[in-house]
Amino acid sequence: MVEESYPDGLKYSEKHEWVKVEDEAAVIGISFHAQKEMGDVVFLELPEVGKTIAAGEPLCDIESVKAAEQVYCPVSGEVTAVNDALGEHPEKVNGDPYGEGWMVRLKLSDPAELDKLMDAAAYKASL
């Protein structure tokens, strides 16, 4: 099991997603807290490349030994890549939520939405 962490330099949503900004793209996954609460992740249904998703809309479905949930998109944009490795190895979400467990890459349609998200200190305080 990965050690609890909330890296600086990422943005966090109230629904426990994280966003890493790289140029005009956003890489999205779920936080340590979210994966811990879910338990062992066993399945993900990721969106199709090319899909446009608005902030607050469902991004993907995720299933664990405890529950089936939806991951919500913290920012708006067009899906430019998905982490296909999670189809064969969904446990990467638990083992490396901020690295190999990333889920989706979006081309941001409104970078100002990032200002509505929390930094690591605010996110930790919200838990």
Shortest CA distance to 29 belongs to which of 93, 87, 84?
93
Average pLDDT over residues 40-57: 97
**All domains of the chain, ordered by start, with CATH?**
11-126 (2.40.50.100)
Question: The whole model's pTM is what?
Answer: 0.94
Which residues sit opposite 81 in a β-bridge?
105
Q: What is the pLDDT of residues 28-37, one digit of tens each?
A: 999 999 999 9
Q: C-alpha distances in angstroms, 25 versus 61, 75, 78, 104?
A: 21, 11, 9, 10
Residue 67 has pLDDT above 70, yes or no: yes
Q: What is the pLDDT of residues 75-123, one digit of tens each?
A: 999 999 999 999 999 999 999 999 999 999 999 999 999 999 999 999 9
Q: Which two tokens stand for residue 1?
A: 């099991």
Q: Tell me, what's the pLDDT at 104?
A: 98
